[in-house]
Structure 1
Amino acid sequence: MRKKVLWLLTMPAILALLTGCTQVNEDITKDSTGFWNEYVVWPLSQAIEYFADVTGENYGLSIIIITIIIRLVLLPLNVKQLKSSKAMQDIQPELKELREKYSSKDAQTQQKLQQETMSLFQKHGVNPLAGCLPLIVQMPILIGFYHAIMRTPEVATHSFLWMELGEPSYILAVVTALTTFLQQKLMMAGAAAAQNPQMTMMLYLMPIMIGTFAFFFPSALALYWVVGNLFMIAQTVFIRKPMMDKQETGGKAK
């Protein structure tokens, strides 16, 4: 759990580092070279242009459409993550018993603990790394989308609602922080993580960090974050919560 928390906390820092790389100040074109430009940034830039044309040069609406498409593509991974999270939560009592049984710090005992833990995971079909997979997949997409927004000149010259898409929006930055907090709050509701001090710290720290980035990034990227958060909130309400309630009801019936 501690390693996962550390990984999540370092994600924004990694994002900030990588957003300054790979020709971020150069416009993306069909002649841009390199794997990153040709297969990530350019296709996303073309997607922005396509949906903007379809919606009458509405680049804000284009970003919203692409965000929803990305989230729908990632939905199966997120559902798998939810199932893995629930399965991990269910075996916590058995994991605690194993840790108490093999509490000695000598190498042989710790090796036995690892073997018994892996056997427990296999028995219940739990993959401890499954929870990180959607995060790993989303990272290059988020960075790629940032580059597509920054390097597609038309984005910066258009507005959406009250926002200039190429400039930061302080109102949207606050909305980004609030929706990030709500999304995490709903994810933690009723879960064992809610009693974990590290996860509780993340509940408040992550929205602050993401909101701070939104204060400096173009509002087009903050729009992506807000729509993504709203999608995840809906996913929690309509998929995760019924899934958890059903499993808890089934567990009580047994």
Structure 2
Amino acid sequence: MKKFFKNKKRLLFICLIVMVSLTACSSPRGSDGKTKVNEIITSETFEVQKKNVNVTEIPEEMQAEYENLSDDDYITIEATSFGDAMNTGWFNGLIVWPIAQLINWIAGKTDAGFGIIGATCLIQLLVFAFTVKSQVSSQRMQMLQPELQKIQNKYAGKTDDRSRMMQAQEMQALYKKNNISPFGSILVMFIQLPILMGMYYATMRASSIVVGSFGGIDLSMTPLAGLQNGQISYIIIFVLMVVFNFLSYKIPQWLQKHEKKKQHIKEKKYAQPKQSGGMMGNMNMMMYMSTAMIAILAFSWPLAMSFYWLVSSVFRVVQNLAVHKFFISKKTA
């Protein structure tokens, strides 16, 4: 069982499969990029023009209700109750509905953009409160990569049971000495994945996003549509999202180097992690692949999701700096 949980790639794959099954591979948006009218989550009754929603890729019995309306006619959407959300699945009821209603509530006092900013910061703070120990362990784990690599090199090529047992014991002793839980990042992954998926659906289904904007920017459009229309603001948000997403992964490594430099730690060649392989190599590969994948997907996301990812990435950058300053640096001082 421990070997299974140590394989993060396998665990991540299973988490993704679980999340896809939870969401039933359904999309709240139609092929025209507009939110399906029956998927909108609202805290109170409101009206939306037919041209701003999708009414063709919904159940047939509902299509007849809207087929005689012109594009400029308004459709009345009733408030979405918790019971309504639960009837479509517990994932929608327990995760998507609360996030969408939080966005709506904050947006009702400001605008759609601040709704996303406020909801993102509150959710990230809540997640951080529950996973702070795990995230500290994750950063300390990165600080220990050279020592872990040294142990791995020591037993490289030795496949007998005794060598494997001694390697495991030395690694466990290193974890214990530095107060690290090797499974800390797994807890963060399990908590963040459902929230990430929930936020993805909430930004497409929240009524404040469907009809709202941020500083005049329509958050329901995609960066690709913004580029085609020559709207530079969409590209600025997209580029900032990619940059800060990359920084959120890279900063812990930079902080690690800074900490070693500050402590005048000089590593011998055999103790340095190999960039082409090993733990550090895998981390870098996942970082680049993740950033590239997000950049590709974000072109067809509604800008609201890109905006959420930007805010979330900025939060993670600040969080990494705070964890390093108040937990890592003090520990090593």
For this structure pair, what is the TM-score category when the shorter chain's length is used for normalisation?
Answer: 0.7 to 0.9
Distance (Å, rounded) in 2 between the aligned partners of 1:23 and 1:183: 28
Look up the match of 1:149. 203
Whole-angstrom CA distance in 1 between matches of 2:245 and 2:15:
13
1:80 to 133, 144, 163: 133
Q: Tell me how far 1:120 sits from its aligned partner.
A: 4.8
| Superposed counterparts of 1:73-152, under 5 Å | 73-88=126-141, 89-90=143-144, 93=147, 96-97=150-151, 100=154, 104-107=158-161, 109-115=163-169, 117-118=171-172, 120-122=174-176, 124-152=178-206
Match of 1:49 among 88, 94, 104: 104
Post-superposition Cα deviations, 1:71-123, rounded to whole Å, max 9, x if no partner, equal 11122345323421354334853773476258521345434543554455445
User: Of residues 9, 25, 32 in structure 2, which corresponds to 1:21?
Assistant: 25
Larger Rg: 2
Shift in CA distance, 52/178, structure 1 to aligned 2, threshold 3 Å: same
| 1:216-247 CA-partner distances (Å, limit 9, x unpaired) | 11111111110111111122233324543333
- Between the aligned partners of 1:157 and 1:11, the Cα distance in structure 2 is 36
Counterpart selection for 1:226 from 305, 310, 313: 310
TM-score normalised by L of structure 2: 0.62
CA distance, structure 2, for counterparts of residue 94 and residue 198 of structure 1: 14
Q: Give distance in 1, aligned partners of 2:10 and 2:211.
A: 36
The answer to whether the 8 Å contact 1:40/1:144 transfers is yes
In 2, the alpha carbon distance for the partners of 1:37 and 1:155 equals 17
Q: Could you say if the C-alpha distance between residues 15 and 225 of structure 1 is closer, same or farther in structure 2, counting changes exceeding 3 Å?
A: farther
Match of 2:228 in 1: none
1:161 maps onto 2:226 in alignment: no
Q: CA RMSD in A?
A: 3.5
Aligned to 2:323: 239
**Identity of aligned pairs, percent?**
30
Give the 3-state SS of the residue equivalent to 1:126 in structure 2: coil
Is the partner of 2:299 in helix, strand or coil? helix
Using the size of structure 1 for normalisation, the TM-score is 0.78
Name the counterpart of 1:204: 288
Give the gaps of 5 or more residues in structure 1. Answer: none
Query: How has the CA–CA distance of structure 1 residues 82 and 146 changed in structure 2, closer, same or farther, with 3 Å as cutoff?
Result: closer
2:112 paired with 1:59: yes
The yes-or-no answer on 1:69 pairing with 2:73 is no
Distance 2:27 2:288 in 1: 33
What residue is the counterpart of 2:90 in the other structure?
Answer: 35
Q: What amino acid does structure 2 have at the position aligned with 1:37?
A: N
Q: 1:162 to 1:211 in 2, by over 3 A?
A: farther
Structure 1 Cα separation of the partners of residues 101 and 139 of structure 2: 38
Paired residues, number: 246
In 2, Cα distance between the equivalents of 1:188 and 1:129? 19
Contact 2:203 2:209 in 1 (8 A): yes
Distance 1:46 1:63 in 2: 11
* Preserved contact between residue 108 and residue 208 of structure 2 (Cα < 8 Å): no
Which 10-residue stretch deviates more, 148-157 or 133-142? 148-157
The letter of the residue matching 1:76 is A
Distance 1:94 1:60 in 2: 44
Does the 8 Å contact 1:214/1:222 carry over to 2? Answer: yes
Structure with the higher fraction of residues in helix conformation: 1
Distance 1:20 1:175 in 2: 31
